[in-house]
Structure 1
Amino acid sequence: MINEPVPTLYEWAGGAQAFERLTEAFYAKVKQDELVGPLFAHMDPDHPRYVAMWLGEVFGGPDRYTRERGGYPHMLAKHLGKAITEQQRRRWVDLLMDAADEAGLPGDPEFRAAFAGYVEWGTRLALHNSQPGAAVVKDAPVPRWGWGVAPPYRP
């Protein structure tokens, strides 16, 4: 039996192109949504690409978001004072999960559990950080998310 290295979530998903498909599909949905759409009314046209860079780095890809966009402090600054509601957070999660299906991200339980784990964690952190007067960690690295306890199954 050959002991192959476990791929990163980034590799398993299909690399940069997979995350670009995901964010394009996602923000097309966001723009049309009455609940979260207003949060993105003045979105930079390159925003989907930047979020794809963020997600790529989080899931084990190159550190482009850190090098080109300023890493965690830059991302945090985009959320401060937005006063995201729990309903908006949940809608954001639902739209992202729908976009993951539409973009063809892997559907295996191991990948989706790891992906959903990050999305749940990240959106709850964004919800907290977006509240006026929230105590936030201002300088942290971009999180690196892995498989957790269930690496991909290879028959």
Structure 2
Amino acid sequence: MSNASHDVENDPDIAAELRGLKLKGDDNKTEVSGGSKQAPNFPISLHIVDGSHVATSDSAWLLQQIGGGDVIHRLTDAFYQKVFQDAHLAQFFASFDDPHAERLGNWIIEKMGGGPVWTKERKRRPQVQVTLAGGHKHVVHDRSSAHVAAWHSPKRQPSKVGQHFKLDDSRNWMRLMFWSAREQGLFENRYFEDFYVRFIGHFVRVYERTAPLFARESARWSQDPKRIDAYLQGGNRMNNLLDLSHHQALQQISESEQDDLQWPYDL
């Protein structure tokens, strides 16, 4: 498990989060003022410093415009309701009782400039061991350790225990996330829809390096109610993307998106 976690911890965003956890008191300044700001130019760009996302006054403004942290928590609550019922993604969670939605919501709020709510919760989080496949014990204390726990979930097929997330896992995750955002009315705000798809497109690379290419397709998936109906009638399973080769997956997106290696940063 150490080699797997090493790869994740080398991700610039996770490395920045680990540095923030080591700061004392209120030294971790992640709250950005956006209250008195006029509407920024559309679209809102991602601000990347040394490969890591940094909140801006524009992203903080957007967080306030959609209704603040409570709205983000409604989004993540809806998302995890879908994840836990998904025939494929549910296997990555040893327990549905942990506060997954609250933690993800806090993380998004912090990344958008709403203050260090995720970092503060992380610092006081109980160091509780979970049981992984094979009876191994593991403490989930941040994103990287949560990924390791998912890879070694006892619910996975024995032959796949320890495997990192694949492209189909990432696409499945994004489709449910963007469906949840659309369902909650958040994509009625064009600023949020554009920013959030780019935002997820940036962060999903830690799951699978080619996954950002598929973020826009994943957002479009929930535009058609017929696709959602087919998913539900098929037992909450994304049959049209699971177990595809990378070449087969690429055929499901346009050539322009296949070749757009500058997205989500090209504005």
Q: Under a length normalisation based on structure 2, what TM-score does the superposition of the two structures give?
A: 0.43
Cα contact 2:166–2:207 (8 A) shared by 1 = no
Displacement of 1:32 in angstroms is 0.9
**Which letter maps to 1:98?**
W
Q: Which residue of 2 aligns with 1:133?
A: none
CA distance in 2: counterparts of 1:149 and 1:110, whole angstroms: 16
AA matched with 1:35? H
Map 1:1-150 onto structure 2 (within 5 A): 5-6=37-38, 8=60, 9-70=62-123, 74-80=142-148, 82=151, 83-127=164-208
**TM superposition shift of 1:46:** 1.4
Q: Offset at 1:125? A: 1.5
Partners of 2:85 and 2:168 lie apart in 1 by: 16
Count the aligned residue pairs.
126
For residues 205 and 113 of structure 2, the distance between their equivalents in structure 1, rounded to whole angstroms, comes to 21
The residue that corresponds to 1:136 in the other structure is none
2: CA distance, partners of 1:34 / 1:111 = 29
**Cα distance in structure 2, aligned partners of 1:126 and 1:69:** 21
Q: Deviations over 1:94-145 (max 9, x none)?
A: 00000001222242332211101111111122336xxxxxxxxxxxxxxxxx
Would you say the 8 A contact 2:182–2:188 is kept in 1? Answer: yes
Q: Provide the residue aligned with 2:53 in structure 1.
A: none
**TM-score, normalization by structure 1:** 0.71
- AA aligned to 2:120 is R
Shift of 1:10: 1.7
Q: Deviations over 1:51-110 (max 9, x none)?
A: 11001111111211112214xx81222113721111010010000000001222242332
Aligned-residue offset at 1:41: 4.0
Quick one: distance in 1 between partners of 2:145 and 2:70? 26
Say whether the 8 Å CA contact 1:16–1:56 is kept in structure 2. Answer: yes
Cα distance in structure 2, aligned partners of 1:56 and 1:117 = 16
**8 Å Cα contact 2:76-2:104 kept in structure 1:** yes
Distance, in Å, in 1 between the alignment partners of 2:93 and 2:65 is 29
* Regions of 4+ moved over 3 Å: none
Task: Tell me the secondary structure at the aligned position of residue 188 of structure 2.
Answer: coil
User: Structure 1 CA distance, aligned partners of 2:109 and 2:266?
Assistant: 20
Q: Helix, strand or coil for the counterpart of 2:207? A: helix
What letter matches 1:27 in structure 2?
Answer: Y
Report which of the two structures shows the higher radius of gyration computed on alpha carbons: 2
RMSD: 2.3
Aligned to 1:142: none
Q: Runs of 5+ in structure 1 lacking a partner?
A: 129-147, 151-155
**C-alpha distance in 1, partners of 2:205/2:266?**
21
Matched-pair contact (CA < 8 Å) for 1:12–1:106: no
Q: Distance in 2 between matches of 1:44 and 1:62?
A: 26
- Counterpart of 2:85 in structure 1: which amino acid? Q
Report which structure shows greater RCO (CA 8 Å, sep ≥6): 1
